[in-house]
Structure 1
C-alpha cells in the first residue's frame, strides 16, 4: 500500500520500502533556488536518518560538498553520526590508485578508520565487513557512462547490504552530462560484467540515485533473491534544484577528478566519445597527456591526415584542431584535439564507432579480424553488442554505422519510456 506523508515541507514516500526523498517544496520554485548536493541536503537535516546507527561510508575524492569539504570529514564532524568504517571503490578513497589495479584493505592514516577495498580481493562487501555497520552511506560521483565502475560498485554494495539486512543511504549527485543525453548500444545480457553491470545504454542519462531506485524497485536488476530485494531498505537523499537540463557547469560546482584519467570536464565528455574507439587498434586517445580522452593520435598517420579524415565524417557538434601536447614524460606529441561546439547536435558515442571503422581501413590486417579471444571478450564487455562486433569483424571499413545508430536510437526510446518512472527530477 502506498503511503504519502508530507512533513516539514519534505516529501517522504514509502512504497513497501523506504526511499528517503526529502524533496523540499523549494524544488518547485524553479532554478533560481540554490542547487544543493545530496550530502548538503543531508547536512540540512542534521543527519537525522543516521542517528543511533553505526555508519560505513563508500566514497572517493569527488565525494565533497559544494565547498569542497570531504563527505568523510563532514560525517566525522557531526555529533549525530557514528562513522566507524570507510569503503573504497576502484582508484581507492583518495583516487590515487591506478585503473584496473586491485586495491588492498588498510587503516586510513587521516582518520584511523578501517578502509575496506571494494576493488581488490572482494568487489562485493563481505558479511564480515558489514558486521561492523548498521548502515552504508554511498557518496560517489558518476560520469554518466555505463562502463564507469562506480555504479557497479554501488550495485554490488546494495546487493550485499540487502542480503545482510543493512540499510543503504545513497547521496545523490548530478550526472555531469545532464539528464537528457542517452547514446550508444544497450548491453547484451551475455556481455554484462563489472564494466557493464546494468541493462542500460552506454550513455544512460541517469543520476546515481535514480539508478539505485531503479535497482531496488525493478526485479532482476540486482543479483539477489526477490525476498532480499523486497526486504532491503534504501534511502535516497536527493539533490535540491537540479533538473535534467542541467549539465555540470550549470550547477556552479568545481569539477573534482573522479579518477586519474578524468581530471576535467573535457575528459568527462571525451570518455564516451573515444573510450570505445581506442579499445582495439592503433588509435590513442590522450591518456598520458593533459587531455585524456580528447586528444587523438594514430600510429602511421600525421596529424593533418587524421584531421582530414575526422573532418570528412561531418559529425554533429564536433570539430577538430591540430595540436601539440607534452606527454606526462615531457615528450612532445602531435595530434588532433576534439572540440565540442554544439551540445544539442552532439551524439556522445558516434565518434567512437567511426574510429573503429578508420582502424579497420588503415590497419592491415584489420585489428578486428586478428583479435585474440580475450581481446574480443573485453571489447564486447565495454561496447555491449555482439551484433556490432560480428558486423565490424565481417565488413571492416565498409561497416554500416548509420544503420546501427538508427537501431540503437530506437532501443533508446524504449529505454527512456521504461526508465522515466524512476526519475527523481
Structure 2
C-alpha cells in the first residue's frame, strides 16, 4: 500500500512537471533565437546593469553575448552604475568594465542622453534593464533618452522585455510643467506596463522629440508571464530595493523623500520603515548608518528615528497616500512638513496633490481627483499591451 501511494505521488509529480516548465518565465534576454540574428555582423551598444542576467546561473548578458562572439562596442550605464552598486544620486563615471575591458559610458549625471559622437560607432542599441513599474524609477527615463537619441541618429534599438513586479495603474498623471528625470512621461505613478510595452507607447504616442521619425524599435517579448501575475525579482534592482516588500511599498513611500521623514535608507530594510528623530511619530525605532551596498550617507545618519515598521504590513498593493497623510497629521507642521515642496511635486508629477493635502482633503477625495485622467491613460495603455 505504501509502495502504491509512493508510485502514485511520483506519477502525479511527473505529469505535473511539463506544466511547471511551461509556466516558467523566459525573459526577452533569454529569447536569443529571436534577437541574435539581428545582431549578426553589427556593432552593438548595450544599455544594461546588474539586473541584465540570463539563465539559471544568472550570467550577465554582456558576458553571455561576448562568448557568442557578438561585437559589443560599449556599455551605457544608468543610475547606480553598470554593476548596480552606486548610491541614489551618486555620480557614475565613464571607464572600462574590469571583467571584460568593454568601455562604459555613464548615462547618469550631466550626460543622460547618448550623444551623436557616442553613437557614431554603434549600429544597434540593446536595452535590458529590470524596471519596477514606478514613474520616478529612473531606468525608464534613461530608456526615453536612449530612444530619443536613436531616433535622432537613425540607430536601431532592441528592448529585451522583463515582467513588471508592481503591476498596477494608479496615481496622478504627470503634468508637462513637472517633467524631470524622475518623471519624463505623461503616465501615472504606477504605469502598469512592462518596459517593452512602455517603449512601444513612447513611440506610438509620439512622446519623443523627433515625432516625424520615431525610434527604430523592436521589442523581444518574454513568455510565461501575463499582467496581474506576481513576480519576485531574483536580483535587487537598485541598492535600496532589497526585496519584494520594499518594491511593493516603493511608490507609496518615495514621496517621503521630499520631507524629513526617513524611509529607512542606511538600514538593511529601506522602503519598509518610516521615521524621524521625534517620538511623536511612533514607538518603533531605527538608526540610519553609513551602510555599504545600501546608502553611504543617509538622512539622519547615526540619529535614532521613531516611527512605523512596515516590513510585515499586509495588503500593500498599488499606490496609497495613507502613510503620507498619517505622518503629515502627526507632524502638526502644515506646509513645513514638505521640506522640499518642489521635489514632492516632481515626484507626484503635479502640485495638486500637495495642495489637496494642505487643504485637509481625504485620501478618497484626492484619489478621485485623478480618476478621469487615469481612465484616459488606461485606454491608451490598452493599445500597447503584449501580455
Please say whether Structure 1 and Structure 2 have the same fold, judged by a TM-score greater than 0.5. yes
- Please list the CA deviations of residues 23-65 of structure 1 after superposition, one character each: whole Å capped at 9, or x if unmatched: xxxxxx9994432000001x23471111111001001101112
Change (3 A) 1:169 1:352: farther
Conserved? CA contact 1:277–1:351, under 8 Å? no
Give the alignment's TM-score, normalised by structure 2: 0.85
CA distance in 2, matches of 1:215, 1:31: 33
Query: Could you tell me which residue of structure 2 aligns to residue 276 of structure 1?
Result: 255
Query: Could you tell me which residue of structure 2 aligns to residue 184 of structure 1?
Result: 171
- CA drift of 1:227 comes to 2.5
Conserved? CA contact 2:331–2:337, under 8 Å? no
CA distance in 1, matches of 2:103, 2:272: 37
Question: Aligned pairs, how many?
Answer: 356
- Please list the CA deviations of residues 340-384 of structure 1 after superposition, one character each: whole Å capped at 9, or x if unmatched: 4236xx4423335424xx325524464157x5xxx3322211111
Given the alignment of the two structures, is residue 341 of structure 1 paired with residue 314 of structure 2, yes or no?
yes
Conserved? CA contact 1:31–1:242, under 8 Å? no
- CA drift of 1:211 comes to 0.5
Query: Could you tell me which residue of structure 2 aligns to residue 127 of structure 1?
Result: 116
Conserved? CA contact 1:255–1:265, under 8 Å? no
Query: Could you tell me which residue of structure 2 aligns to residue 384 of structure 1?
Result: 349
- CA drift of 1:217 comes to 1.4
CA distance in 2, matches of 1:202, 1:365: 24
Given the alignment of the two structures, is residue 424 of structure 1 paired with residue 358 of structure 2, yes or no?
no
Change (3 A) 1:46 1:347: closer
- The residue matched to 2:108 in structure 1 has which SS? coil
CA distance in 2, matches of 1:365, 1:265: 33
Query: Could you tell me which residue of structure 1 aligns to residue 99 of structure 2?
Result: 110
Query: Could you tell me which residue of structure 2 aligns to residue 306 of structure 1?
Result: 282
Conserved? CA contact 1:186–1:408, under 8 Å? yes
CA distance in 1, matches of 2:355, 2:287: 38
CA distance in 2, matches of 1:201, 1:30: 34
CA distance in 1, matches of 2:333, 2:324: 18
CA distance in 1, matches of 2:33, 2:309: 43
- The residue matched to 1:58 in structure 2 has which SS? strand
Change (3 A) 1:297 1:39: same
Query: Could you tell me which residue of structure 1 aligns to residue 325 of structure 2?
Result: 354
CA distance in 1, matches of 2:308, 2:372: 32
Given the alignment of the two structures, is residue 75 of structure 1 paired with residue 46 of structure 2, yes or no?
no
- Please list the CA deviations of residues 79-125 of structure 1 after superposition, one character each: whole Å capped at 9, or x if unmatched: 3x211111100111011212112222112221111111101331010
* Structure 2 unpaired stretches of 5+: 1-18, 292-301
Task: Describe how 1:143-292 pairs up with structure 2 within 5 A.
Answer: 143-178=132-167, 181-219=168-206, 221-224=207-210, 226-229=211-214, 232-249=215-232, 254-280=233-259, 282-292=260-270
Query: Could you tell me which residue of structure 1 aligns to residue 3 of structure 2?
Result: none
- The residue matched to 2:325 in structure 1 has which SS? helix
Change (3 A) 1:368 1:223: farther
Per mean C-alpha deviation after superposition, the further-off stretch among 143-152 and 259-268 is 259-268
Per mean C-alpha deviation after superposition, the further-off stretch among 331-340 and 54-63 is 331-340
CA distance in 1, matches of 2:198, 2:20: 24
- CA drift of 1:201 comes to 0.5
Give the alignment's TM-score, normalised by structure 1: 0.78
Query: Could you tell me which residue of structure 1 aligns to residue 272 of structure 2?
Result: 294
* Structure 1 unpaired stretches of 5+: 1-28, 308-321
